[in-house]
């Protein structure tokens, strides 16, 4: 493993929850609620969507790694000829399937962890992956498998810093836990450089995300629901970051 990949893995492990805190959790703090991942009827016109549309041209298939409800792939409806959603959460794939069917898109779902299920997912013209890299510890195999699956190119969207890092003051306040610095887009770019990939990078601001749901944050912090009022008050003092990055690269011919 290269230095940048080691650094990425170390920073990601630093996002872990110590066992003594995890023991107090009443619900899985890592679980993503599919209700929060419904793709919009009208897709946002973002640099990531434009990069994927450029790669698709007049049409082609799309593989969405860590698809959630399908925000990334389904934003390409009308141009994508088939969408394949890969996710380790079956309930996310159910949202993806319903949304793809509602748009009249040919689709397939593959349940399991990327890259373990890469062979089952197969290849596609364009591979997209939005807001998944910050969930990954061992980044090189994850990125290499995406590159290997893409006939034309890859589009990755990520927040500039780990999406939960803005809550670090709350870990300190409620648990006395000091976290190391979070992984950033630059850390991911350094890993890509070690793999010989130099993507086009566009940094941009997402439209203001809604205030983070207090119940979700309370669960993430491994606190019981009765602490929600305290968490709610603490959230008023924090600003949720909005800077995202789109990384795109062409497959070697
Ligand atoms: C933050 S959500 C993003 C969902 C969607 N891409 C979006 O932008 O709305 C991350 C998703 O990636 C999935 N995920 C994380 N790591 C994964 C892995 N190694 N393999 C498959 N799915 C993964 C999670 O289950 C979750 O649905």
The pair phi, psi for residue 100, each rounded to 5°, is -65, -45
Is there an atom of ligand 1 within 6 Å of 212 CB? no
Tokens encoding 93: 């794939």
> Quick check: 181 and 11 in contact, CB under 8 A?
yes
d(CA 92, CA 240): 24
Q: Where are the domains of the chain?
A: 3-20+34-162+180-208+241-250
Is there an atom of ligand 1 within 6 Å of 134 CB? no
Best probe residue, ligand 1, of 132, 144, 206 (max atoms within 8 Å of C-beta): 132
Q: How far is the CA of 102 from the centre of ligand 1 (A)?
A: 21
- Higher-confidence residue of 242 and 64: namely 64
Over 90: is that where the pLDDT of 248 sits?
A: yes
Q: Closest residue (by CA) to atom 8 of ligand 1? A: 130
What value does the mean pLDDT of the chain take? Answer: 95
d(CA 217, CA 235): 9
Strands 124-130 and 150-159: parallel
Strands 80-87 and 107-111: parallel
- The reported pLDDT for the residue numbered 239 is 86
Tokens encoding 41: 């009827």
Is there an atom of ligand 1 within 6 Å of 161 CB? no
- The reported pLDDT for the residue numbered 27 is 87
- The reported pLDDT for the residue numbered 210 is 67
- Split at pLDDT 50, 70, 90, the class of 57 is very high
Strands 107-111 and 60-65: unpaired
Q: What percent of the chain has pLDDT over 70?
A: 98
Give the DSSP letter of residue 41: S
- Taking the domain 3-20+34-162+180-208+241-250, which CATH number applies? 3.40.50.150
pLDDT digits (tens, 9 = 90+) for 161-217: 998 999 999 999 999 999 999 999 999 999 999 999 999 999 999 986 766 889 999
- The reported pLDDT for the residue numbered 213 is 87
- Split at pLDDT 50, 70, 90, the class of 49 is very high
- The reported pLDDT for the residue numbered 31 is 83
d(CA 92, CA 84): 13
Best probe residue, ligand 1, of 30, 35, 39, 66 (max atoms within 8 Å of C-beta): 66
Nearest atom (ligand 1) to Cα of 70: 5
Whether the bond into 115 is cis, omega within 30 of 0: yes
pLDDT digits (tens, 9 = 90+) for 126-163: 999 999 999 999 999 999 999 999 999 999 999 999 98
- Higher-confidence residue of 243 and 31: namely 243
């Amino acid at each position: 493993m290269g230095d940048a990949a080691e650094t990425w893995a170390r920073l990601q492990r630093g996002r872990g929850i110590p066992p003594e805190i995890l023991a107090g959790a009443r619900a899985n703090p890592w679980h993503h609620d599919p209700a929060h991942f419904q793709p919009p009827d009208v897709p946002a016109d973002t640099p990531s969507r434009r990069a994927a549309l450029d790669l698709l041209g007049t049409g082609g298939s799309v593989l969405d790694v860590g698809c959630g409800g399908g925000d990334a792939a389904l934003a390409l409806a009308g141009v994508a000829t088939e969408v394949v959603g890969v996710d380790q959460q079956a309930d996310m794939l159910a949202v993806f399937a319903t949304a793809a069917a509602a748009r009249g898109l040919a689709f397939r779902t593959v349940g399991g962890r990327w890259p373990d299920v890469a062979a089952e997912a197969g290849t596609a013209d364009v591979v997209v992956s939005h807001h998944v890299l910050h969930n990954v510890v061992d980044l090189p195999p994850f990125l290499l498998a995406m590159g290997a699956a893409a006939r034309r190119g890859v589009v990755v969207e990520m927040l500039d810093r780990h999406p939960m890092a803005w809550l670090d003051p709350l870990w300190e306040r409620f648990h006395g836990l000091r976290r190391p610095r979070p992984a950033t887009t630059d850390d991911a770019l350094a890993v890509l450089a070690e793999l010989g990939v130099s993507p086009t990078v566009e940094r941009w601001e997402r439209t203001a995300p809604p205030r983070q749901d207090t119940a979700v944050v309370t669960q993430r912090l491994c606190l019981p629901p009765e602490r929600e009022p305290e968490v709610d008050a603490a959230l008023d003092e924090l600003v949720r970051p909005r800077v995202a990055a789109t990384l795109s690269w062409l497959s070697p011919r």
